[in-house]
Structure 1
C-alpha cells in the first residue's frame, strides 16, 4: 500500500516499532510464483480505526514489493507503470468516496477504502527515510478478485500499485516467529483468550491479544486501545442499557475442525427501528467471521475477497461467481450497543449504509461508511447447530421454539391473511355456506400452500 521509491537510493533505518503479534519478522523468506523473496524491512502505520504493518520484500532478481499485514490478512503490491496519458485521468484523493466507481487504466474499479495513516515506527532496510510526522495517503479499489492501490503520499498524482491477496501458506513462508517467540516478545500468546482490567472502571474484559485493536468494556462501555503496549482509554463510555447476549463473550466452538471464540458483540438498528445482534468470532487459522441474530433466525457471514465485477450504486442486481443476486433492501444502520473486542474501532452511534442482495438462501451485503466499503456473504445457520457448537454458552431457543421466530414466518403471515379473508366473507358464508365454502377453502389453500413451501425451502 506504500510507495516503492526505487529512485531513492539512500536506505533509511528506523527503530522503536510497536511489538505486535505478527508471525512475520526481518529475515522471513518465501516464494511468490517461482520467485524467492526475503523480508528486509517494515514500517507500521496507524489510522483512527486501527493499525497495520507493511513489510518490505526483496526478491532474488532485485525487484522489491510490499507485503501488507493487517489482522491476519495479507496482500502483496507492486508498482504498475501506467500510461502517462491515463495517469492524468486518475481521480483526485479528496474526491474519492467508498462505493463509487472510478476509471483506472481502461476499466471501472470500485473504491473500497480511503485512508490517511501516520507512520509510527519502522525497522530494517527501507527504500526511503521516514521521519516523524510522515503520513501515507492511500486508496484501495476492487473489481472482482482484482485490486489496485493508489498512493498519494508524495504527490497529487498517485503512484499505481496492483496487488493480490495471499496467505503465508501459499507463499511457503519460512523463518516465521512461532507462538513461544511471540509470547516472549509481547507477553502473551497470540490467539489465546486473555483478560485485562478496564482502565476506566476496573471490570474484567476478555479479549484476544494481538488481533483486536479496540475493546469496549461491557460494564462502563469505555473504548480502550488494545493495540498499544499499555491499554489506554480512548473515550469514556455512554450510559446505555445492557443488551442480553444469546451467546456469551468468550464462548468457544469447534467448527469445521477449527477453534473459534466469540470475542465481541454489537447491536444494530435500521431506519425503521428494527434491531439485530452481530457476534464477532475469531479463529487462529480462519480469522474473523460473524454470527448474525435477527427475528428471522441466525446466519453466518464472512467478508468477501471476490467483489462484483460490474457493481454500480443503485443497481438492481449484482453478479458474483457467475450467480446473479437481486436487490432486497437499501437502508441505514446505527450501532446502538457494543461490548467486547473488535479488530477495528467500534462505538455506539457508528452509522453504515447497507445494501442487501439475495439468490436463494445466500445473501450478500454491501456496507459503506465514510472511509470504507466491505462486501460479505451470509447463509442460514440453524439454532440447533449453534447449540451443538457452543453448548450451555448458547442461550437461544432451539427446536420448535426457535422455528417460531423465523422458520414459519410465511405460514404465520398466511394464517393472518386467511383469518382476515374469512372475517370479511363471514356474511356470505353464513348466507350461502354450501355455495361458498369450497371457494373459500380453495382460496385459503392457494395462500397457505405456497407459504408452507417457502418455509420448507428456508429450512433446506
Structure 2
C-alpha cells in the first residue's frame, strides 16, 4: 500500500482476476470496481479481488466531467473516482463518485446539464416505503421539510471506476426524490433495505474549482448518423444522449430513447411551425453564450374553458450552465431554468413561496405539445401533456408542471423582446419579436384625474342602461391574456 497524493487516503492495488491488469482503489469507502481493461466487475475480499461479472459498456455522453477530475466542495478537496449510469422511463442520468480528502464518499450527480453534490444522509428512523411517498406529498425527514417531486423505476445500465456501492445491473428499483423549499435535494434509493439516503444541493461546475475536465462537450461522431425512417435523409444528433430529434428534410419526430441502432419510431408532423430563432443559432443572454438545440410549440387550455392559447419554447444549452428555456408567449419573452428546490405551494394553490419570495398564481391549465423541431435531452412526443401552474412576482416567474411521475418547478424572469432579437443577431427582424411587453406602463401617455373620473362616469351610465335592458344577470367571463409555461417540460429532474 502507498500513501495517496490527496489527503490521508491510502491507495490499494491488486490484479484483476479477469485479465491480470492492475485495479486500483483510491478510497477506503470503495467496495467494488470495474476493471478499465476487460470491464470485469470486481469486489474487494481482504487483500484479493473476486470477479462477480462483467459490466456493460458505458454509453457516451457530452459531459465535461471525467474520471480523476478534481475540485473543492464546502472547503474539502475531492477527486472523481467512479461513475454509475442509470436509465429510467424518461431518459438517463449519471452519478459521479467523489472521494473527499477527509475520507468521505459523495456523489456529483448529473442529469441533463444540472449538477447536485450529495453526501450520505443518516436517518434515525427507517424511511417509509416507496408506495407511501406519493407524488406531491409534503413530509419531513430529520426535522427538514420536503415535497415528493419524483417517483421513478430505474436500473443501473453501466459503471466505471471504483464504487462504494453497486446496485444489481439491469435490475429495476425505485428512486424517490424529495426537494426542500430552498436548495436541498433528498434522494432515497430502494435497492437496499433500509433504503440508502443522500442529501445534496445544486452546484455549478465553475463553483467547484474543477480541473482535469474534458476538452469538449459536443462530439462530431459521423457514425451516429442514421437514415430517417420516413424519408431516408441523413440525421445526425448533436448531443450523444439525446432522446428525440426531428428530421430536417421531412420534419418527422424520431424517438431515440432506445439508442442509435435500435428500432427507431417516428411520427409525421403535418402542421409545421417556423421558429423565429433558427436551430443551431448561438446568442448571449444573462451573461452566458447559449446554443439553440430544440424548439417546441405548445397549446394550453384552462379547466372549463373552451378557448385555447399557444406559445413556443426554445431549448438552450451552455456547456457549464446546462440547459435553459427561452419562452415566447403573447405577454412577452422569458428565460427560465428548472429549480433544484421545490417551492412551497399554498394549501389553496393560489400562491407559492420560493427562496423567501411569494409568487401569486397567474394561470392554471392543461398543456399539450403540438409541434417539435430540433433535438431534446428528454423523450418529447406530440400530444405530451402536463398540468401547469404559472406564478409571478413582478418580473420574476415561477412555474410548476405535473406529469404522471414527476413534478418539475422552473424559475426565471421576463426579458425584453429587443434583447432577445439582439442576442441572436436578429436586429433586422426585431419587429417580429415584439409582444405585449413592447410598451411598458412607464412609457404610456399619462391620463389626468379628470379624464379618469369622466371615463368612470360614462362606464357607470352604460352599465345602468345594460342592466335595465337585459332585466337579468350576465354570465361571468374569465380569460388568459397570454400563454406561456414559464419553465418548459423537463423530464428527469436532477436525481441527486
1:222 and 2:253 matched: yes
Partner of 2:58: 17
Report deviation, 1:392: 4.0
1:135 and 2:169 matched: no
1:42 and 2:83 matched: yes
Report deviation, 1:148: 0.7
Equivalent of residue 213 in structure 1, options 212, 227, 243: 243
Change (3 A) 1:422 1:103: closer
- Alignment RMSD: 3.7
After TM superposition, the structure 1 = structure 2 runs for residues 42-191 of structure 1, keeping only pairs within 5 Å, are 42-83=83-124, 86-87=125-126, 90-143=127-180, 144-155=182-193, 157-179=194-216, 187-188=220-221
CA contact (8 A) 1:141 1:147 kept: yes
- Of Structure 1 and Structure 2, the greater helix share is in 1
Equivalent of residue 300 in structure 2, options 270, 274, 277: 270
Partner of 1:436: none
The separation in 1 between residues aligned to 2:186 and 2:435, in whole angstroms, is 45
Mark the runs of 5 or more structure 2 residues left unpaired by the alignment: 1-28, 33-42, 302-306, 448-454, 466-496
The separation in 1 between residues aligned to 2:258 and 2:265, in whole angstroms, is 15
Report deviation, 1:345: 1.0
The separation in 2 between residues aligned to 1:427 and 1:125, in whole angstroms, is 80
CA contact (8 A) 1:54 1:66 kept: yes
Equivalent of residue 276 in structure 2, options 217, 225, 246: 246
Mark the runs of 5 or more structure 1 residues left unpaired by the alignment: 429-460
TM-score by length of 1: 0.76
The separation in 2 between residues aligned to 1:216 and 1:252, in whole angstroms, is 19
The separation in 2 between residues aligned to 1:234 and 1:175, in whole angstroms, is 36
Equivalent of residue 202 in structure 1, options 232, 235, 256: 232
Report deviation, 1:115: 1.8
CA contact (8 A) 2:333 2:414 kept: yes
CA contact (8 A) 1:206 1:250 kept: no
CA contact (8 A) 2:242 2:378 kept: yes
Partner of 1:347: 381
The separation in 1 between residues aligned to 2:230 and 2:457, in whole angstroms, is 56
Partner of 1:320: 354
TM-score by length of 2: 0.71
CA contact (8 A) 1:150 1:161 kept: yes
Report deviation, 1:67: 2.0
The Cα offsets for residues 174-204 of structure 1, whole Å up to 9 and x where unpaired, read as 222222xx77xx5449xxxx98753442345
CA contact (8 A) 1:222 1:233 kept: no
The separation in 2 between residues aligned to 1:207 and 1:32, in whole angstroms, is 34
CA contact (8 A) 1:23 1:176 kept: yes
